[in-house]
Chain A
Amino acid sequence: MSGFLRDARHRTWLLLVIATGATFWLRVDSDIGLAAAAGTIAIAYIKGRLIVLDFMELRHAPRIWKGIFETWLFVVSAIILAVYRFGLPAIGSA
Chain B
Amino acid sequence: MSAIAATPDAAEYSTRRLPGDQDVWIFIIAELLMFGAFFIAYIVNRAGEVDLFNASQLTLDRSFGVVNTLLLVTSSWAVVEAAAAVRGNRAALAPCYLLIAIGLGVAFIVVKFFEYSAKFEAGLSMTTNTFYMFYFCLTMIHLAHVVVGTIILIVMWTNARNGNYAAAHTKGLETGASYWHMVDLLWIFLFALLYLLR
Contact A17 B70 (CB under 8 A): yes
Q: How large is the interface on B (under 10, 10 to 19, 20 to 34, 35 or more residues)?
A: 35 or more
A43 to B17, CA, bound (A): 28
Q: Which residues of A contact B84 (CB under 8 A)?
A: 9
Contact B16 A83 (CB under 8 A): no
B114, CB-defined interface residue at 8 Å? no
Contact B192 A43 (CB under 8 A): yes
Tell me, rounded to whole Å, the shortest Cβ–Cβ distance linking A32 to chain B. Answer: 5
A61, CB-defined interface residue at 8 Å? yes
Q: Which residues of A contact B192 (CB under 8 A)?
A: 23, 40-41, 43-44
Tell me, rounded to whole Å, the shortest Cβ–Cβ distance linking B16 to chain A. Answer: 5
B119, CB-defined interface residue at 8 Å? no
Report A's interface with B, CB cutoff 8 A. 9-10, 12-13, 16-17, 20-21, 23-24, 26-27, 32, 36-37, 40-41, 43-44, 47-48, 51-52, 54-58, 60-63, 65, 68-69, 72, 75-76, 79-80, 83-84, 87-88
* 25 A-B pairs (CB sep. < 8 Å): A13-B77, A17-B70, A17-B74, A20-B73, A24-B62, A26-B196, A32-B198, A37-B197, A40-B196, A41-B192, A44-B192, A48-B189, A51-B184, A52-B185, A55-B181, A56-B177, A57-B19, A58-B18, A61-B19, A62-B17, A76-B39, A76-B40, A80-B193, A83-B43, A83-B44
